[in-house]
Amino acid sequence: MISAPAHLLRLARAGFVFAREGVFGVIDPAAVPAPAQPLFRLARLFERRSTGAAETRLSVALTRLGPSYVKLGQFLATRPDVVGAALARDLERLQDQMPPFPQAAAEAAVAASFGRPVGSVFARFGPPVAAASIAQVHRGEVETGSGLRPVAIKVLRPGIERRFQADLRSFDFAARHAEDLSAEARRLRLVEVVETLRRSVGLEMDFRMEAAALSEMAENTKGDPDFRVPAIDWDRTTKEVLTLEWIDATPLSDRVRLQAQGFDFRKLARALIQTFLRHALRDGFFHADMHPGNLFVDDEGRLIAVDFGIMGRLGVKERLFLAEILHGFITRDYHRTAEVHFEAGYVPPSHSIESFAQAIRAIGEPIHNRAAEDISMARLLTLLFEVTGLFDMRTRPELLLLQKTMVVVEGVARSLDPKLDMWSTAEPVVSEWMTRHLGPAGKLENAAEGALELGRFIGSAPGLLTRGARVLDQLDENTRDGLVLSPQTIAEIGNAEARRNRWTVAALWVIAALLLWIVIRAW
């Protein structure tokens, strides 16, 4: 368990790196709360004389701070509700590229994971070909009945889990104190943000989970004509090692090579958009990191995705919500679009549907005055979530992850075809899904599912009533003479409050000492 002073030291180091890289220089001083103004001005004194461009300073600082902060930055890029739309766009530029760790360390990690020498697992284990914050990839070969088969071997960085856990505890410490002090921090649910990051990173560092995601997507897309995923070598996959087929294909980022091979860029752009929408709407399971470095094109023109560490899921409710919104914007039925938000419980009922519909109209009307090629579905979702923030819409991480991925996918598609008509491209996929789920057949299916759920509830009602009556009897007995706390409980509450006060005083002294040390050292 890391103590409060240790957390403060870690966070103070991060603050110092931010100051040195000029991160505070891109913040509007007027937006800084009055109590923090002196500290803000002090931080500006430690900027390097030659900082980088404003839009890259935060990325540079996060990279200097190491893997945990790089992953934090990438995660916050998916949360414009927390960091703001402009900063989220800047964080999307953050590249998860790290120096590779030594070959000997990688071989030792593989041997430890399988409990036997590397040579008995792989016929060949080559040097790293790519390295990121959590893992690096090696090219290798395995023995088969017909000879050697090339494979991609992803190896977890040694010691990375321990470092992540320490940094995540510091993030949690900062988030809890921020929520204690700020109503805005409580609204943004910063503690929950850190907890979501913890779960995300935990899944990403277990390669069995990535293999399972690959397997699920392979099953979902086995009939798709324009998309496939690499095959998994389950016998050579563990928590720390993931082995896949080696992809002999052209990176989507290599436009010169793609053009030389005669690929139709307009066709690739349409395939990319329709593939993503099929995954999101049809399957409710999508690759949430579809930048060009994770996409390849094989000789048959099919898209191949790699790196399934970050995945998004949408329930039927969220998919219905999105389909209704898209339909409402297309038909200019803004009142219905507003009703969908309220019916889903995303906007508190204290707000007016009419006022919300008016705000949505401000987004939708400019779209109908533009050429089809100028309409951005990603921009539409971005503006929609910005407006909903004004109406206290509670954060929906799955929808924000979809919106962030939509921005990336649409950007890649438009780089292939600048005149891409998003609506006509999306229409076949969206229409098919809406007909299936919002048409007569879908309504009958939903009614049948509702009847099944009602039957389950009725079947469990006697047990629920019995447990409820038992709880009420116990509550009545315990409070008949008033709610009484034992002396031991009262003493523990007093001790806990005293400890909290001591840590608060100690924290203030540590911060003051750190600032004094920094000033003296700088002078």
State residue 287's pLDDT score: 94
CA distances from 51 to 19, 57, 59 (A): 10, 7, 12
Residues 328, 334 contacting (CB under 8 angstroms): yes
Instruction: Lowest mean pLDDT of 93-107, 244-258, 413-427, 472-486, name the range.
Output: 472-486
Winning range, highest mean pLDDT, from 51-60, 201-210, 233-242: 233-242
Q: What is the mean pLDDT of the chain?
A: 79
| Residues 163-203 pLDDT 10s | 888 888 888 888 888 888 777 677 777 788 788 778 878 88
**3 state SS of 305:** strand
For residue 469, pLDDT over 80 is answered with no
Contact 405, 276 (CB under 8 A): yes
- Res. 285: pLDDT tops 90: yes
Rounded distance between C-alpha atoms, residue 184 and residue 389, angstroms:
12
Q: 254-261 long-range contacts, Cβ below 8 Å, gap at least 24?
A: 258/297
pLDDT of residue 83: 67
Helix (H) or strand (E) holding 162: helix 160-181
Helix (H) or strand (E) holding 147: strand 147-156
CA gap 505, 523 in Å, rounded: 27
CA dist 488 and 416 (Å) reads: 69
The two beta strands, 303-305 and 227-228, are parallel
Residues 260-281 as b/e (b if ≥16 CB within 10 A, e otherwise) read eeebebeebbbbbbbbbbbbbb
How distant, in Å, are the alpha carbons of 139, 230, 293, 443 from that of 134?
17, 20, 16, 45
Q: Which residue has the tokens 């003051």?
A: 512
Residue 378, amino acid? A
Whole-structure pTM over 0.85, yes or no?
A: no
**What is the per-residue pLDDT for 273?**
93
Contact 229, 221 (CB under 8 A): yes
The half-sphere exposure of 470 on its side-chain side, counting CA atoms within 13 A, is 6
> CA-CA distance, 437 to 205, in Å (whole number)?
36
Q: In sequence order, what are the residues at sequence separation of 6 or more whose Cβ sits closer than 8 angstroms to the Cβ of residue 432?
A: none
Please, are residues 85 and 382 in contact by the beta-carbon 8 Å criterion?
Answer: yes
What is the pLDDT at residue 505? 43
Is residue 207 predicted with pLDDT exceeding 70? yes
Provide the token pair at 132. Answer: 């990121």
Which amino acid is residue 218, in one-letter code?
A
Instruction: Please identify which residue in the block is written with the tokens 């991160």.
Output: 23
- 440 versus 338: which is more confidently predicted? 338
Neighbouring C-alpha atoms within 13 Å toward the C-beta of 51: 24
Point out the least confidently predicted range of 156-160, 233-237, 346-350, 374-378.
Answer: 374-378
Q: Which two tokens stand for residue 318?
A: 């969220």
Question: Which residues, at least 6 apart from 430, have a Cβ–Cβ distance to it below 8 Å?
Answer: 277, 281, 323, 326
User: By the 8 A CB rule, do 179 and 192 touch?
Assistant: no
Ordered domains of the chain (ranges, CATH): 1-96+515-523 (no CATH), 97-246 (3.30.200), 251-438 (no CATH)
Looking at this protein, which amino acid is placed at residue 513? A
Integer Cα distance of 215 and 513 in angstroms: 53
Helix (H, G, I), strand (E, B), or coil: what is residue 313?
A: strand
Please write down the long-range contacts of 296-299, taking CB distance under 8 Å and 24 or more positions apart: 296/247, 296/249, 296/250, 296/251, 296/252, 297/249, 297/250, 297/252, 297/258, 297/263, 297/268, 298/228, 298/247, 298/248, 298/249, 298/250, 299/249
pLDDT of res. 57: 78
Of residues 18, 104, 99, 20, the one with CA closest to residue 62: 18
CB atoms within 10 A of CB 321: 19
DSSP SS3 for 96: coil
> Rounded distance, CA 298 to CA 421, Å?
25
pLDDT at position 358 over 70: yes
Q: Could you read off the pLDDT of 52-71 as tens digits, one per residue?
A: 666 677 778 888 887 778 87
Buried b (16+ CB within 10 A) or exposed e, 472-505: eeeeeeeeeeeeeeeeeeeeeeeeeeeeeeeeee
pLDDT at 522 over 60: no
Helix (H, G, I), strand (E, B) or coil at 297: strand
Which residue has 């966070």 as its token pair?
A: 11
What residues contact 141, with CB distance under 8 A and at least 6 apart? 122, 123, 124, 148, 149, 150, 151
Per the CB < 8 A criterion, the answer to whether 503 and 8 are in contact is: no
Residues annotated catalytic, as ranges: 289
Q: Which helix (H) or strand (E) holds 129?
A: strand 124-131
Average pLDDT over residues 415-438: 82
